[in-house]
Amino acid sequence: MWLPLLAALGLILLYRWYKYSLILDNLTDKYVFITGCDSGFGNLLAKQLDKRGMRVLAACLTETGAENLKKEASSRLQTTILNVTNSESVSSAVKWVNSIASEQGLWSLVNNAGIGVPTALNEWLTKDDFKKILDVNLLGLIDVTLNMLPLIRRAQGRVVNVSSIAGRVALFGGGYCPSKYGVESFSDSLRREMVPFGVKVSIIEPGYFRTEISDSKRLLENVKNKWEKLPEEIQKSYGQAFYEKYCQAMAKGLSKTSKDLHLVTECMEHALTAVYPKTRYSAGWDAKLLFLPLSYCPTMLGDFIFSQIQ
């Protein structure tokens, strides 16, 4: 009885492996525009695709980031300055991409730019703290995508949006998790809308990785700054002991972040180069084995498990 089921399961797994192992031809002719290339995932992906021979158009926030990237890449890679929160900057970047890839269109857009601060308990933050993160991680992503879509449709290309496992499970307070939930929702609706045009949309959901966003010193300084600016009444309600325990828990969690950024950029690369890209990529064992299953748990069970791992 079990043998036919196991054989069927084996055939399904073999088919899935074969399907997702198929890679596109003529990758060296394709243009890829990546945001947030100063450091982290975007920087590594730009160099990774450049070594593969693809035509990388890398957007950095700073001149220093752009110059450093060009020193580590081939002459094929081109850079531009982009602030995703500034619509004029976005329009300039679109014109720049169009001047380079207008005839064949843009094969892929990788929305990688993002920030993680301000972050703290929700009550310790202000509306502007939430807005700062949403402007970059969600509204900036949407602005870049909407402006690049005509070029992507022309190439029947790809949109790859970097979300987070925090877009599945709200791991902490502040605007980061809401912004990633928004990325998930926007990506899902966009994917369905783009089907008639042959455009594919993928979402990358990394777990905890050691990047500039997860820099422990910067995050803890941010929390300290928010705590010190709180009204005395709120500080008394939480208490100094609670604040110190919260900081210790944050430091402990950040110390467990993975240094292997390739786990994420390999997912990005597959989404850009595979004949059949996946809709979602969970990067990192914590994402696959802990946070993703946690997102499907009943609320009461999920809350209990989450309380034990904090």
Q: Give me the mean pLDDT over the 102-112 stretch.
A: 93
Same domain, 207 and 221: no
Number of domains in the chain: 2
Same domain, 182 and 244: no
Residue 190 lies in a domain: yes
Q: Is the dihedral of CA 188, 193, 196, 200 positive or negative?
A: negative
Q: What is the pLDDT of residue 310?
A: 64
CA–CA separation, 53 vs 201, rounded Å? 23
Encoded amino acid at 34, one letter? I
Residue 214 has pLDDT above 80, yes or no: no
**pLDDT tens digits, residue range 59-104?**
999 999 999 999 999 999 999 999 999 999 999 999 999 999 988 8
Residue 17 lies in a domain: no
Q: What is the pLDDT of residue 82?
A: 97
CA–CA separation, 218 vs 251, rounded Å? 11
Q: How many CB atoms lie within 10 A of CB 219?
A: 22
**pLDDT tens digits, residue range 29-40?**
999 999 999 999
Catalytic-labelled residue, pool 31, 176, 181, 281: 176
Residue 8 lies in a domain: no
Same domain, 266 and 247: no
CATH number at 105 reads 3.40.50.720
Same domain, 40 and 135: yes
Same domain, 225 and 152: no
Residue 304: pLDDT band (50, 70, 90) is confident
Same domain, 236 and 154: no
Same domain, 181 and 250: no
Query: Looking at 56-60, 190-194, 286-290, which range is the least confident one?
Result: 286-290
Q: Is-catalytic flag, 243?
A: no
Residue-number span of the structural domain to which 245 is assigned: 215-256
Q: Are 77 and 304 in contact (CB under 8 A)?
A: no
Residue 14 lies in a domain: no
Same domain, 61 and 202: yes
Same domain, 248 and 298: no
Residue 4 lies in a domain: no
Same domain, 67 and 210: yes
Q: What is the pLDDT of residue 269?
A: 96
Residue 101 lies in a domain: yes
Residue 126 lies in a domain: yes
Same domain, 247 and 125: no
Q: Give me the mean pLDDT over the 44-66 stretch.
A: 96
Q: What is the pLDDT of residue 144?
A: 98
Same domain, 227 and 121: no
Q: Are 42 and 34 in contact (CB under 8 A)?
A: yes
Please provide the DSSP assignment of 139-169 as one string: IIHHHHHHHHHHHHHHHT-EEEEE--GGGTS
Residue 7 lies in a domain: no
Residue 2 has pLDDT above 80, yes or no: no
